Amino acid sequence: MRLAKFIVILAVSFFSSSASLAQCYNEALYRMVLPLAKNINPKVLELAINAYYNARKKGLDDKGILTIVDYSLPSSEKRMWILNLNNQELVDYSFVTHGSGSGLLYARKFSNTPGSYKSSLGLFLTKQPYHGQVGYALRLQGLEEGINDKVEERGIVVHGAQYANESFIDQYGRLGRSEGCFALPVSSYNNIINYIEGGTLIFAYYPDKNWLQHSRYL
């Protein structure tokens, strides 16, 4: 029923306006997903879907899974959404850390530089999980040149951490901070990694003018 409804919305949008097919697709998908993504900023969702669509045109992601991280929110709030776009389903809604070089409660600074301990923005492609120094983790590929394309060199991954738990927020008013990695609560990181691994997209947002103006995915 949901898929049929999506197709109807898409067709009506396309044939009743002069908008491009891409615009119609993105608008229809946005309308389907917005009610599911709890507390998400509509503008962030719009940008994420646009980036997702442009990545799909390049042959990236055939699973229909999109993870959105909104770094404009404080770490004391859930700011990661994992969406199955094929099923129009919110799979998880999670806390996630930012890098120690990016800020305390809020992430304000971002970098692509090794040793900066800052988070990176933009679009990432998930690779394969592995067991390493931080335990079970998920390798990432940064898709945006000059913005996040050094994440592999920097060792930026998805992993679990005790400082990413809600109990840490209760004690300190914020999550702990990583070295730039997406650190998740220990209760859920294993399931999240297994769900998004193997070629799905992560969209990390902050209202950074340079990135917003120059990203090839936006």
Domain annotation covers residue 187: yes
Domain annotation covers residue 181: yes
**What DSSP string runs through 143-156?**
-STTTTTTHHHHT-
Which pLDDT value is given to residue 136? 98
Domain annotation covers residue 46: no
For the chain, the average pLDDT equals: 91
- The CATH number given to whatever domain includes residue 111 is 2.40.440.10
Which pLDDT value is given to residue 19? 55
**Is pLDDT above 60 for 6?**
no
Summarize pLDDT for 65-88 with one digit per residue, the tens: 999 999 999 999 999 999 999 888
Summarize pLDDT for 53-69 with one digit per residue, the tens: 999 999 998 899 999 99
User: Structural domain of residue 92, as residue ranges?
Assistant: 62-214
Sequence-distant (6+) residues with CB within 8 A of 144 are 121, 122, 123, 211, 215, 216, 217
CA 13 to chain CA centroid, Å, is 27
Domain annotation covers residue 17: no
Number of domains in the chain: 1
**Rounded mean pLDDT, 181-194:** 98
